Amino acid sequence: MQKIAHALLVCFVVLGLASCSNGDYQADPASNGNGAVNPITPLASSEFTWSGTEPMSCDINGTRWVADSVSFYLDDSGANLLYGFQFGKTPRIGFYLKDVWSGNDYSMEWKNYNRYAVFTDSLGYIDGTFYSYLSNSGGLKIVQNDSAVIKGLFYFKGISPNGKIVNISNGYFKIDKLL
């Protein structure tokens, strides 16, 4: 009886694996098959070629989003904290940017806690908060960072703690520092 049960279990596992589909995944590192930035070959500085709408804008899963208002703070460690939102609505986007200088590119990806982005599409829900540091893809180019303004371009794949994904692309911010 135990041999029959074991044989059935093996059959179910084999049938289950045979019926799995990974979709239209493009495994070629040189391709851009799904429209997202390939994490194996992230953007070079010269590939940050887009512009945006002030004070902050980006494409969220392909849909254009523009912030109505932004905030800038400088924390005790010297990190730049940026927040963009629309009045009375979600989504919202925030950045924690420590040690960033004008003219430099930075990674915003897996376990990078010095420079990361947070996207929130529903306040207070774990599935509605997406972090760049849980992902394998993200970049930031600081165009200007002086005593008056911080300006940059960004993209990232945000992942929620439960594994949901959001793609943020063509990101732009130009925020006055009112210190």
What pLDDT shows up at residue 40? 55
What pLDDT shows up at residue 14? 40
Under DSSP, the state recorded for 124 is T
3-state SS of 4-67? HHHHHHHHHHHHHHHCCCCCCCCCCCCCCCCCCCCCCCCCCHHHCCCCCCCCEEEEECCEEEEC
Q: What is the pTM of this model?
A: 0.72
pLDDT string in tens for the chain (179-residue length): 555 544 444 443 344 434 444 444 444 444 434 445 555 567 777 888 888 889 999 999 999 999 999 999 999 988 889 999 988 777 889 988 888 888 888 877 777 667 778 888 876 666 688 888 887 778 889 999 999 999 999 998 888 888 888 899 999 999 999 75
What pLDDT shows up at residue 124? 60
Amino acid in the structure at residue 61: N
C-alpha 63/C-alpha 149 separation (Å) is 27
CB atoms within 10 A of CB 78: 8
Pairing of strands 165-176, 56-60: antiparallel
- Are 112 and 132 in contact by the 8 Å Cβ rule? The answer is yes
